[in-house]
């Protein structure tokens, strides 16, 4: 009888240890987001403006998440900019423009690129507020950008659905489309 109990106990302990080892090898997937890249050279363009209108002088820089300059170009006299982003550039990319306002005070505006399929990004005070809010929420990710954009813009009730928005949120909430 003692032998049977010993064999049964050994069997159950062995089975338990094997199950624990199997569970350890099947860990939950990491919640680290997949890094996206521009698969090919891409031209980003848009309009730079402040509360008074188009900015006609300044330099737009595309910065990596480590603040390395990826590309830079002057703002054109019509307030537009174009930047050529090299292939294999990781997202997010921060677009930053420094300029002097009418009082000769240095001003910085920003926008954030989190999608490799979009190429138009206006840089203005609203895009700057959205970028700051997303960073405060934990970083420049799609969910943080969406939350930040939704919190910055008043949305009419007739434009809401059970999902919280209807249509393309990148265009509805302005600034980072």
Report pLDDT for 105.
78
Structure tokens at 10: 């050994």
**Contact by Cβ (8 Å): 137, 147:** yes
**Contact by Cβ (8 Å): 64, 70:** yes
**Contact by Cβ (8 Å): 153, 174:** yes
Q: Domain 42-172 classified CATH 3.30.450.20?
A: no
- The pTM (predicted TM-score) of the whole model is 0.69
Report pLDDT for 27.
43
**Contact by Cβ (8 Å): 175, 124:** yes
- C-alpha to C-alpha distance for 48 and 58, rounded to whole angstroms: 9
Report pLDDT for 84.
97
Structure tokens at 173: 């909430």
**Contact by Cβ (8 Å): 140, 88:** no
Give yes or no for a cis peptide into 123 (omega within 30° of 0). Answer: no
Domains of the chain: which residue ranges? 42-172
Kind and range of the H or E run holding 86: none
**Contact by Cβ (8 Å): 165, 155:** yes
The predicted-structure confidence for 67-79, as pLDDT tens digits, reads as follows 999 999 999 999 9
Structure tokens at 138: 């934990």
Q: Which residues of the chain have pLDDT under 50?
A: 2-30, 162-166, 172-173, 176-177
- C-alpha to C-alpha distance for 146 and 123, rounded to whole angstroms: 17
- C-alpha to C-alpha distance for 27 and 40, rounded to whole angstroms: 35
- State the CB neighbour count (10 A cutoff) for residue 64: 14
């Amino acid at each position: 009888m003692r032998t049977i109990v010993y064999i049964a106990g050994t069997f159950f302990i062995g089975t338990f240890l094997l199950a624990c080892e199997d569970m350890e090898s099947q860990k939950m997937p990491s919640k680290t987001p997949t890094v996206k890249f521009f698969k090919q050279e891409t031209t980003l363009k848009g309009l730079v403006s402040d509360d008074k209108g188009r900015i006609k002088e300044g330099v737009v820089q595309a910065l990596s998440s480590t603040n390395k300059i990826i590309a830079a170009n002057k703002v054109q006299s019509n307030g537009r900019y174009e930047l050529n982003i090299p292939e294999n550039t990781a997202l997010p990319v921060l677009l930053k423009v420094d300029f002097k306002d009418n009082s000769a005070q240095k001003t910085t505006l920003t926008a954030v690129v989190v999608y490799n399929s979009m190429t138009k990004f206006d840089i203005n005070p609203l895009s700057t507020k959205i970028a700051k809010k997303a960073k405060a929420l934990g970083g420049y990710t799609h969910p943080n950008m969406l939350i930040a954009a939704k919190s910055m813009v008043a949305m009419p009730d007739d434009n809401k659905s059970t999902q919280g928005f209807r249509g393309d949120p990148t265009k509805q909430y302005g600034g980072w489309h």
